[in-house]
Amino acid sequence: MRARLLTSAGLDFRIVPSDVDESVIKAECVQGSLPIRETARRLAAAKARSVAAVEIGSVVLGADQILECDGQAFDKPPDMAAAADHLRALRGKTHYLNTAVCIIRDGDVIWEFDAVPELTMRSFSDAFIEEYLAASGPAVLSSVGAYLLEGRGAQLFSEVKGDFFTILGLPLLPLLQFFRDEGFLSS
C-alpha cells in the first residue's frame, strides 16, 4: 500500500527491504514497558537505518504501523482464521493505528513523523465477518487490522478520526510537505 501511495503521488523511488528482525525490537519494547507508539517509531527508524547502511548517500524512508486495542498490539494476521479473530476482537471497539515514519540520509535522521488515527468498528455478526473475509480475500492479510478501509472494509466502521493516508500506513501529506521543504519536490 505504501508503494502504491508514493507512486500515485508521483514520487520516484526504489523498494529495498530491510533486514530488521521486528520481533526483537518488539520484545525489547515490551520488556522496557514502552508505549506502542514508541515501538512503531523505533521500528520505522530501525528499518530506515538498516537500508541506509547499504544505500550510502540515498534518502531512505522507513515506516511502521502497529494497531493497538485495549492496550494490546496486533500484528498482521498470518491466515484467514486469524483475520476473523482480529475482527472479532476489534468489533464494537475503538482502536488506534500507531503510525511512524523515519527518513535517514548518510546515517542521520533528517525527518521523523508519527500519528495515531482512531477508528471505531461497529458491532457486526460472525456471519458478516465470514461474508466480508470471503469477499475481500487474502488481501486483508496485508493489514494489521485485517481490513482494507479503502474498499469493502469501510463497512466495518462507525467512526474514523484521522488522516486517511495515515490510516493506510503512510502520513503522505506531511511527507510530501517535507519533500517540498527539502527541495526534493517542486513547490
Question: In this structure, how many other beta carbons lie within 10 angstroms of the beta carbon of residue 68?
Answer: 19
Q: Could you say which of 12, 19, 64, 75 is catalytic?
A: 64
C-alpha cell at 23: 520481533
Question: In this structure, how many other beta carbons lie within 10 angstroms of the beta carbon of residue 163?
Answer: 16
Residue corresponding to grid cell 530501525: 46
Backbone angles phi, psi at 97, to 5 degrees: -105, 95
DSSP code of 54? T
The question of whether 114 is a catalytic residue gets the answer no
The helix/strand/coil state of 149 is coil
Can you state the percent helix, strand and coil of the chain, rounding each to 5? Answer: 45, 25, 35
CB neighbour class for 59 (10 Å; exposed up to 12, middle 13-18, buried from 19): middle
Cβ neighbours of residue 150 under 8 Å, at least 6 residues apart? Answer: 168
Which positions are annotated as active-site residues? Answer: 64
